[in-house]
A and B are shown apart, each in its own frame.
Chain A
Amino acid sequence: MEFVVISLLNGLSFGTVLFLLTIGLSLTLGLMGIVNLTHGALFMVGGYIGWTVAVQLGLNYWLAVLLGGIVAGLLGLCIEQGFLRNLYRLMNEQVMVTVGFVYVLSNLSLWVWGGIARSPFSAPALSGSLPIFGFQYPIHRITTIGIGVILAIGLWWLQEKTRIGAIVRAGMDDKQTISGLGVNIGRITYLVFFFATLMVGIAGVIGAQMLGVNLAMGWDILLLALIVLVVGGVGSIQGSLAGAIVIGLIDAFGRALFPQLAMFLMFLVMIVILLVKPTGLLGKEV
């Protein structure tokens, strides 16, 4: 019984990190048709910034989360404004430019922070553990789930109940019509892009509580994000959430029950979804 509860909590907390990671990817893909492959590198950079603020400078953890997000957001914005905007409609170039940035950001991170892998870190108040069924369970994982719930509700509300949410959703379906209706879709897209990479940076710092930060994270986390997108579906909060929870739980239960095959299970689920319902569990038709 305790095993099930612990695994459930593990899966949900890891799933929250995946959720935060993929919202941005999903939004930019749905609205702008761009797959930003720099996502993994930005996750890493966010984590490193968070480490600098929280550990090296010893400042408030939540400040670190915010700054990690902002720096990632600004970097994303630079990439978008400086390069992707000029490659409008050239999907292949856009994608490969983001890959080029992976090389650049990885090496710059090496330059700035050196090569040592960093230990996971969190806010001092959250660094303890709570007894659950005779087990000590890390508090920060529970609060991470809480953050996930709050953000999911908040973002869903933003998506469904606000004007900007409606614009973004409409933009995903039909950009021309909404421009015709007088909405400045250009400005919205760059706001969305900033928001997307902001979330990745935040995901990086929150994820660092479990994973730490190191130079090798980029491609692995990107792969997980893509699997979540395929499974959950692109273009909506609920899609990212569904995919993240499914993958998070597979990871948790899979690793506990058949450790060597957990990853394989994820690939299998992804392939099945692709063959049966290519747009994902809750995805829009893109």
Chain B
Amino acid sequence: MENKKLITLVFGTSLILVLIVSLLLAGACAPAAPEAKGPIKIGALVPITGGLAHYGPHSIGGINVRLDEAGWKFKDRPIEVIFEDDASFDEVMALQKARKLVELDKVDVLFGPIASSSFLGTETYIDVVKIPTLAIGYRGELVEWDKPGWDFATRGSLAQQTYQAGKFAYERGFRTCNTFGADYETGYQGCGAFVDGFKSAGGTVVQMEWLGFGIADWGPYLAALPDADCTAVIHYGAEMISFVKQWHEFGLWNKQPLITLDTSTVSEPVLNDFGDWALGLLAATDYHWSLNNPINNKFVPAFEAKTGMKPDTTSDDAYTATSFFLAMLEKTGGNTTNEALREALFGLKIDAPAGTCTFDGEKGYTIKNTLVVEVQKIGGKLQYVVLKEYPNTTNPGYYTKP
């Protein structure tokens, strides 16, 4: 009995002491004063835990590979990256980490957070502290293109890639289409732009359906599907995977060709989970590891050596964001004040693994290549193969729910 009291005494008092001491220490240790010639710091908010955790290693790898290439320094100053977990969909955590990076670590630029809701959630704060923030994963669904602030969708927008996919669908011979989109911004942008591209080429839309969240049983939607030449779908996370699987199970695979409007969830490991029936699946994307250009040819083996995985769209985003930042430094000559860095971004042109990317001179969007790919079997494994590359696409607009 005495032992228990002792333990309680020690445990409880030490917890309270820890509370007090940590607060005192935190107060006493003034955050690092900004040194003119200290290291250049990148603050990266990446998903290490939570529903998007599988993008974590891709983001971290992409940034590290690019900095390896740059020798981890710019001129005479070393470059540091501080990675913090943004907990995927937890906006409170993401904002807290963003604050920590900006106020305690005094970073010069922020990357991420990855989830759209978190990225937008930090926007208010970023506008107040005025730190340039480059997106990894965020697609620019709600960026006000005409009035760029301090956060930038350097990876381009979803609408950009799905618009081209719409045109492709028409070129492929489809004249009518159905769409399924997640019932929020991602769905509206993705499907809206697809339909826009498709219609501008001459096609007609039969049905635009919106999919809910939660436990994903798509049977009911599939049972009510009208006839059309093709169907385009965009959802996020596991819902997209089960959608494609159920599309096959309900025998629609041979009836209506399916186009997925993004490849981040139906990734190559998932294709191989699916099996050979997935051959012929079409998808819109903005990067694939098989692209043949000097930057990508260096990037892919370096990334594989570092992480053991082939790079995907997130790895490319992270690499590209880092490249943009390094180019911004080049342009400012090493001046890391917020205003200088922001100015430098406009009109910047870099070579990324996905091809050349140009950040528009006035509006806040990226001009870049997008792709349409198809699932084929190569060397006994399923993978995406590039069917068509659309160079220098721009953002077609902002789409709302029709």
Contact = CB atoms under 8 A, between A and B. Distances in A.
A10 B219 CA distance: 6
A214 B215 contact: no
B14 interface: no
B219 A221 contact: no
Contact of A136 (B49, B53, B250): B250
Contacts of A71: none
Interface string A242-266: 0000000001111110011011000
A141 B269 CA distance: 25
A220 B215 contact: yes
Nearest to A14: B217
A260 B183 contact: yes
Nearest to A129: B251
A119 B215 contact: no
B224 to A, nearest CB: 5
B238 interface: yes
Contacts of A136: 249-252
Interface in B187-220: 209-212, 214-217, 219-220
A210 B243 CA distance: 9
Contacts of A259: 183, 209-212, 220-221
A116 B269 contact: yes
B216 A211 contact: yes
A118 B274 CA distance: 9
A214 B51 contact: yes
B8 interface: no
Contact of B250 (A138, A212, A217, A256): A138
Contacts of B250: 129, 135-138
B249 A129 contact: yes
B281 interface: no
Most buried by B among A114, A121, A214, A254: A214
Interface of B: 47, 49-56, 183, 209-212, 214-217, 219-221, 223-224, 237-238, 241-242, 245-246, 249-252, 265, 267, 269-270, 273-274
Interface of A: 2-3, 6-7, 9-10, 13-14, 55, 107, 110, 114-121, 127, 129, 131, 135-138, 140-141, 210-212, 214-217, 220-221, 224, 251-256, 259-260, 262-263
22 contacts: A2-B223, A114-B53, A115-B51, A117-B54, A117-B238, A117-B265, A118-B238, A119-B241, A119-B274, A120-B246, A121-B273, A131-B251, A136-B249, A136-B251, A215-B53, A216-B51, A251-B217, A252-B220, A259-B209, A259-B210, A259-B220, A263-B214
What 6 A-B pairs are tightest by C-beta distance, nearest first?
A136-B251, A115-B53, A115-B54, A256-B220, A10-B219, A117-B238
